[in-house]
Structure 1
Amino acid sequence: MNGFPLLALLLGPVLLAEALLARHELMTYTAGWRTPATGLPQGMPYARGADPGRPPDAYVVYLDGIGKRRFRDTRDGGRLVTALIAGAPELRVLGQVQPYSPLAHPLVDRPVWEWLRHHVGLLLFLHNVMQIFVAADHRYRPLYNRAVGAQIAHQLRHAGYRPGSGTPVVLLSYSGGAQVATGAVGELDTQLGAPLLLITLGGFHNGANDLTHARHLHRLTSGGDRIERVGTWIFPQRWRLSRRSGWNRAVRAGKITVHPLDPATHVGPRSYISPEALLPDGRSHLDRTADTVIALIRAHCGAATEAATRVRQ
């Protein structure tokens, strides 16, 4: 007990500073003082997977959780993205989007943050946590949604996406990436007119974003995921009483399907993307998650193709 007041005293100023920094980046973007990054590191493709010479069945944008610090996937060393590409070569997958930076700047490319990464790693974690709450704040949410939605649209175009083509776009999000994914729906519909499918994996989001322009949202969850459960408690828009929230309107419209992935946990050796934790059928948690995601995307692509055929007829 004696250590708690000291910890609170130390973390209080840090949390305040992080909150101000998170808002500052968004305001800088909105005011036009700095322009978002548009390029990637030399030699890094905008997407991996299907041959860029022909249209893929779908484009998949992976929005990682708060561990995302660089262009390359960091939470699991890129295992989930690699598994998707190996299991579904007909997809083009983008894993480099920076969901916690309206300016599309990875933290590790900023000199101050690079020093902090080696000396005070907790601050990098707190920075992305604060960005989630900025994205969820009703005062900043429209600006944040527009900024990251534009970033995703820009990178999809560079990956070969043709607006108005009807090719499905899948926003696959982990943890706090769900806040960004649900927020990007409106901007992506405006810029690309793409059929949008959302898949959240342990999604941590406030439920306020409008999902009208999303075809469907598949919620992959587990009874052992305490972090996702906290999100359903702390955000009133996720409560059933908030009937007018974006989330509850989508529930009533039949746009939300829940897929249990028990006994997976949010993080750790038994997480959704663990290659070590095994299921009774012999698959790893990672294998099951990848198989589930691929099956959902293929079903969505088949439905989109049938709908397009009916329109042409």
Structure 2
Amino acid sequence: MNAFLLWVVGGLGPVLLAEALLARYEVLAYGAGWRTPTTELPAGVPYARGAAPDGPPAAYLVYLDGIGKRRVRDSRDGGELVKALLAKAPELRVLGQVQPYSPLADPLADRPVWAWLRRRAGLLLFLHNVMQIFVAADHRYRPLYNRAVGSQIATQLRLAGYRPDSGVPVVLLSYSGGAQVATGAVGELHARLRSPLLLITLGGFHNGANDLARAEHLHRLTSASDRIERVGAWIFPQRWRLFRGSGWNRALRAGKITVHRLDPATHVGPLSYISPKARLPDGRSHLDRTADTVIALVRARRGASAAADDRSS
């Protein structure tokens, strides 16, 4: 057993060190201006799907996936959550191409070296994105990472037809580690688009340090069976109530965070939030319930805004 542990540590140690250095390189390359973030999408991939931009749409929804995100087209569930949102809420304009784990908006699986590694050591792709989450959470790199990905999201929204100062809400729907990126993008998005921002985290894994003052509200979709989200709330001190000055705790005191239980869903696996097979007592799948919950929150925000406009007129 000792020999096995030494083999694991000896094998993973250099890999983790290399991943940590590569993850920092990308955000530093962005900050130094050595490389320009990618804005074009592959042929045949639209900047958004759903409602046409000339409506205007009820909202623009940007989906920030978990650590499985490696290219423009893929997602943890094969795009089933986005498909469900589009089918159930045709009034939304949905973007799913943002690369939350690349400050340069460069899809990981499309890089020649990573394409070679993916065929031989697919685990490294996940380690890379895990390391990017911790870089995004590191106080030394966080401001630059937030600016890079916030700028990427703003650019993709503009290309999808979003007009700054239009008043059309932007919804950041994030899964797992995507919550670190979503909470970090708030300031840059507000500065560039001046849009109403609604955040919805699904099993959100984030450090709680980012300032949420410019967000209208954050809806936390969680489950008692989600161990990974609980780990995030435990390992990051800014999520502890003791650290009253953190962005998360300031938002809590301001009443900006609402918790919604999706028990008994798990973070991943056959009982996950986005499982199309796991069934609830009412007959819906976990995927359907998650999509229904997201849509209800977006529509409730729209209804509250319309009511406020009526009262002021």
Normalised to the residue count of structure 1, the TM-score between the two structures is 0.98
**Cα root mean square deviation, aligned:** 0.9
Q: What is the CA-CA distance between 1:71 and the residue it aligns to? A: 0.2
Equivalents in 1 of 2:14, 2:43: separation in Å?
38
Equivalents in 1 of 2:145, 2:302: separation in Å?
29
Equivalents in 2 of 1:184, 1:177: separation in Å?
11
**Residue in 2 that maps onto 1:96:** 97
Q: What is the CA-CA distance between 1:53 and the residue it aligns to? A: 3.3
Identity %: 79
Equivalents in 1 of 2:306, 2:135: separation in Å?
37
Equivalents in 1 of 2:5, 2:211: separation in Å?
39
Q: What is the CA-CA distance between 1:59 and the residue it aligns to? A: 0.3
Is 1:129 the counterpart of 2:109? The answer is no
Q: What is the CA-CA distance between 1:305 and the residue it aligns to? A: 3.0
Summarize deviations over 1:104-156 as a string: whole Å, max 9, x none. Answer: 00011100000011100011000000000000000000000000000000000
**Residue in 2 that maps onto 1:54:** 55
Q: What is the CA-CA distance between 1:306 and the residue it aligns to? A: 3.3
**Residue in 1 that maps onto 2:82:** 81
Q: Note the residue ranges of structure 1 that are not aligned, 5 or more in a row.
A: none
Choose 216-225 or 4-13, whichever is displaced more: 4-13
Equivalents in 2 of 1:239, 1:7: separation in Å?
33
CA pair 287-195 structure 1, distance change in 2 beyond 3 A: same
CA pair 60-118 structure 1, distance change in 2 beyond 3 A: same
**Residue in 2 that maps onto 1:236:** 237
**Residue in 2 that maps onto 1:252:** 253
CA pair 200-162 structure 1, distance change in 2 beyond 3 A: same
**Residue in 1 that maps onto 2:166:** 165
Equivalents in 2 of 1:197, 1:7: separation in Å?
43
CA pair 149-308 structure 1, distance change in 2 beyond 3 A: farther
Query: 1:247 is matched by which residue type in structure 2?
Result: W
Match of 1:268, SS state, is coil
Equivalents in 1 of 2:307, 2:161: separation in Å?
23
Equivalents in 2 of 1:53, 1:179: separation in Å?
31
Equivalents in 1 of 2:191, 2:311: separation in Å?
23
Q: What is the CA-CA distance between 1:6 and the residue it aligns to? A: 1.3
Query: 1:263 is matched by which residue type in structure 2?
Result: P
**Residue in 1 that maps onto 2:188:** 187
Q: After superposition, where does 1:98-113 map in structure 2 within 5 Å?
A: 98-113=99-114
Q: What is the CA-CA distance between 1:303 and the residue it aligns to? A: 1.9
Equivalents in 2 of 1:197, 1:164: separation in Å?
16
Is 1:292 the counterpart of 2:300? The answer is no
Contact 2:53 2:162 in 1 (8 A): no
Equivalents in 1 of 2:75, 2:109: separation in Å?
12
Equivalents in 2 of 1:209, 1:276: separation in Å?
35
Equivalents in 1 of 2:108, 2:100: separation in Å?
11
Q: What is the CA-CA distance between 1:43 and the residue it aligns to? A: 1.5
Summarize deviations over 1:152-209 as a string: whole Å, max 9, x none. Answer: 0000001110000000000000000000000000000000000000000000000000
Contact 1:64 1:73 in 2 (8 A): no
Equivalents in 2 of 1:305, 1:127: separation in Å?
43
Choose 5-14 or 75-84, whichever is displaced more: 5-14
Summarize deviations over 1:197-224 as a string: whole Å, max 9, x none. Answer: 0000000000000000000000000010
Equivalents in 1 of 2:26, 2:204: separation in Å?
24
Query: 1:302 is matched by which residue type in structure 2?
Result: G
**Residue in 1 that maps onto 2:36:** 35
**Residue in 1 that maps onto 2:266:** 265
Q: What is the CA-CA distance between 1:100 and the residue it aligns to? A: 0.2
**Residue in 1 that maps onto 2:70:** 69
Choose 69-78 or 79-88, whichever is displaced more: 69-78
Equivalents in 1 of 2:283, 2:74: separation in Å?
26
Query: 2:41 is matched by which residue type in structure 1?
Result: L
Query: 2:94 is matched by which residue type in structure 1?
Result: V
Equivalents in 2 of 1:20, 1:308: separation in Å?
50
CA pair 277-150 structure 1, distance change in 2 beyond 3 A: same
Match of 1:199, SS state, is strand
Equivalents in 2 of 1:161, 1:309: separation in Å?
25
Summarize deviations over 1:239-287 as a string: whole Å, max 9, x none. Answer: 0101000000000000000001000000000000000000011000000
Is 1:24 the counterpart of 2:34? The answer is no
